[in-house]
């Protein structure tokens, strides 16, 4: 019997020697361990074995069976691993091939900047008001202390539709509408398209303005400066400083031009700031008493400040856009850069 067992062991060793696939292994396993397999047959033959030898024989056969099973388990594991390795090798991909993105979309830089500006000022308590783009002479000029013979009218070449109706040259026009209907405290922001008859590398006949107006008791030039300091830090960075310098707008007195320290060079002077260390970003001032009076607000009780900036200009500065025309052309190569 022992010989028989040795023979079986050898024949198993031989049979599995070249096995490469788990399928073949399974067939061999069945041949020996299956219901009709060699070992099962031996087990069945136990009946014919004399009773006194049975325990010994049984032991031997069980050992054989155990040996077999371990052998096949081990082989199975090895082959499975090999097969898995092969599968992995076969299925390997070039992970550096491009990913399949959903199609890009993007919001226009003007909208991005407009929203950012509104969020900054909304946090300071500003409401948003959008007036009409086709305005009349009164709201666009007269109510803003710019009567018809005023030289400041030449500062803004105006598109006229009739003698009285025109394309607004500034969103301040809408602010007058607010002041006529709302009593202080007033904090409004008026974003929108404005139009001036100007077309060159740095001017566009249509552009977007964002103007702010604060009217309350005891408002000072220092408050204007304080608010614009906050604004400049939020939009251009924590280290940004602002500088006021005298200027002129008919609807403010005093009027100032507001520069921010150059965020490119930190104020040392570079190409962006033309070597001055400062970049002009907006115009502002204390609201002219006549403008308040015209809107029925008593300038002896209330005072206020106003500021206005070009959204395109901020966008150009913020993103480093070198030509204003790009903002209006709709070239997808330009637009897709703002997808983030």
Number of residues that bind another protein (CB under 8 A): 88
User: Footprint of another protein on residues 295-324 (CB under 8 A)?
Assistant: 303
Residues β-bridged to residue 194? 207
What Å distances lie between residue 181 and 48, 53, 184, CA to CA? 115, 115, 10
What Å distances lie between residue 74 and 69, 79, 297, CA to CA? 8, 9, 95
Buried b (16+ CB within 10 A) or exposed e, 180-210: eeeebebbbbbbbebbbeeeeeeebeebbbb
- Which among 36-44, 56-64, 73-81, 330-338 is the span making contact with another protein, rule CB under 8 A? 330-338
User: Footprint of another protein on residues 18-57 (CB under 8 A)?
Assistant: none
- 330 belongs to the binding site for another protein (CB under 8 A): yes
Angle between helix axes 2-16 and 22-33 (nearest 10 degrees) is: 170
| Cβ-contact 235, 124 below 8 angstroms | no
- Which among 24-32, 90-98, 144-152, 172-180 is the span making contact with another protein, rule CB under 8 A? 144-152
Among 18, 90, 91, 149, binds another protein (CB under 8 A): 149
User: Footprint of another protein on residues 240-269 (CB under 8 A)?
Assistant: 242-248, 250, 253-256
Residue 197, sorted as left (phi over 0), alpha (psi -120 to 50) or beta, turns out to be beta
- 217 belongs to the binding site for another protein (CB under 8 A): yes
Among 205, 264, 266, 270, binds another protein (CB under 8 A): 205
Among 2, 17, 96, 148, binds another protein (CB under 8 A): 148
Least distance CB 176 / another protein (angstroms): 14
Among 58, 132, 275, 296, binds another protein (CB under 8 A): 132
Task: Output the DSSP codes for 116-157.
Answer: HHHHHHHTTT-EE----SEEEHHHHTGGGT--TT-GGGGGSP
Least distance CB 263 / another protein (angstroms): 18
Distance CA 158, CA 168 (A): 8
- 177 belongs to the binding site for another protein (CB under 8 A): no
Closest to another protein by CB, 18 or 149: 149
User: Footprint of another protein on residues 273-292 (CB under 8 A)?
Assistant: 286, 288-289
Closest to another protein by CB, 217 or 268: 217
């Amino acid at each position: 019997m022992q010989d028989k067992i040795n023979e079986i062991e050898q024949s198993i060793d031989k049979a599995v020697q070249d096995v490469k696939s788990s399928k073949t292994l399974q067939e061999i396993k069945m041949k020996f361990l299956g219901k009709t397999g060699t070992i099962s047959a031996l087990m069945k033959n136990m009946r014919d074995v004399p009773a006194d030898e049975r325990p010994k024989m049984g032991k031997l056969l069980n050992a054989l069976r155990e040996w077999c099973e371990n052998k096949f388990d081990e082989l199975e594991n090895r082959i499975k691993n090999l097969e898995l390795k092969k599968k992995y090798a076969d299925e390997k991909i070039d992970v550096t091939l491009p990913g399949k993105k959903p199609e890009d979309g993007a919001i226009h830089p003007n909208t991005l900047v407009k929203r950012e500006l509104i969020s900054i000022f909304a946090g300071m308590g500003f409401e948003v008001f959008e007036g009409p783009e086709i305005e009349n002479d009164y709201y666009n000029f007269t109510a803003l202390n710019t009567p018809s013979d005023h030289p400041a009218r030449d500062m803004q070449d105006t598109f006229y539709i009739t003698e009285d109706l025109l394309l607004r040259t500034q969103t301040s026009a809408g602010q007058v509408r607010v002041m006529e209907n709302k009593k202080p405290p007033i904090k409004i922001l008026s974003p929108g398209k404005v139009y001036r008859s100007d077309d060159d590398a740095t001017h566009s006949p249509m552009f977007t303005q964002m103007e702010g107006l604060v009217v309350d008791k005891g408002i000072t030039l220092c408050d204007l400066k304080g608010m614009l300091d906050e604004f400049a830090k939020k939009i251009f960075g924590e280290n940004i400083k602002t500088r006021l310098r005298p200027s002129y707008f008919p609807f403010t007195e005093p009027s100032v031009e507001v520069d921010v320290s150059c965020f490119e060079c930190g104020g040392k002077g570079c190409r962006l700031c033309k070597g001055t260390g400062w970049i002009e970003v907006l115009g502002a001032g204390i609201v002219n008493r006549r403008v308040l009076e015209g809107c029925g607000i008593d300038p002896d009780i209330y005072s206020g400040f106003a500021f206005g900036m070009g959204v395109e200009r901020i966008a150009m500065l913020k993103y480093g856009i070198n030509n204003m025309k790009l903002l209006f052309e709709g070239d997808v190569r330009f637009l897709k850069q703002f997808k983030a």
